[in-house]
Amino acid sequence: MKLKKYIKVISYFIIFTLLIGTNIGASMPDTVKIITEKGIIDTVHYENYDLNVERIKIEGSDDIVYCLEIDKKFPSGQTFLKNGTNNEQINNVIAAGYPNKSVAELNLDNENQAYFATQIAIWSSVQGYDVNKIKGDNPKILNAIRTIYNDGVSGKYKNKIQSKIYKTSDDSIQEVIIISHDDLMDTLMSEEKAESEQMEFAPQEG
């Protein structure tokens, strides 16, 4: 049994090494259609500006997508092309937020709040906002924005997610960030956890 487990661990290590060596986001599509769901999720205030967030998504996909340029319009069904990789700090901010961190871990009440807080933290990183000066009606959301931003800047969740930047031909529309999840590694880790639990609670002889 120990030999079998050892072989599986080595196999996981080899697969993980190969995945790390692969170009990040290489499996992401070259083009996607981005749409914006109806309605503003929430609003916070920074100095004399209202920061409104609308939720964007890939048409026909559940992948998490965020906007990158706060001073431009939200997508409305345009086709976006792959346009490079995020800088490290923005990627780390994303990793400190949703979906790498769950709604409960962010001490929020629902998915929209988690998405909203992460989007504001991303814009704060891009624009150089002082997150301590952001004001709003919900203290839990404000605390989540600050936590996501500060954990991101400190690199607390570095290398936890993969992402790519996508751009449309209309320069008035924001570039977007698409987050990719490695389903293969999730599956392998789930299998390993299940096997460990099975071994832990297996009936004992005698």
Taking only the tens place, the pLDDT of each residue in 101-118 is 999 999 999 999 999 999
0.85 exceeded by pTM: no
Which pLDDT does position 24 carry in this prediction?
38
Q: If phi over 0 gives left and psi between -120 and 50 gives alpha, with beta otherwise, what is residue 159? A: left
Q: Which residues on adjacent β-strands are paired with residue 121?
A: none
Q: Specify the higher pLDDT residue, 6 or 154.
A: 154
Q: 122 pLDDT band (50/70/90 cuts)?
A: very high
* pLDDT average, residue stretch 68-94: 93
What value does the mean pLDDT of the chain take? Answer: 82
Residue 122 and residue 158 in contact, taking contact as beta carbons nearer than 8 Å:
no
Q: 13 pLDDT band (50/70/90 cuts)?
A: very low
How far from each other are the two terminal CA atoms of the chain, in whole angstroms?
A: 19
Which pLDDT does position 106 carry in this prediction?
98
DSSP state, residue 68: -
Residue 34 and residue 77 in contact, taking contact as beta carbons nearer than 8 Å:
yes
In angstroms, the CA 53 to CA 43 distance is 7
C-alpha dist (Å) from residue 170 to 59, 76, 118, 142, 185: 18, 11, 25, 32, 36
Q: Which residues on adjacent β-strands are paired with residue 14?
A: none
Residue 92 and residue 155 in contact, taking contact as beta carbons nearer than 8 Å:
yes
Reply yes or no on whether the pLDDT at 7 is more than 70. Answer: no
Q: 159 pLDDT band (50/70/90 cuts)?
A: confident
* pLDDT average, residue stretch 148-171: 94
**3-state class (DSSP) for residue 34:** strand
Tokens 């203290």, residue located? 139
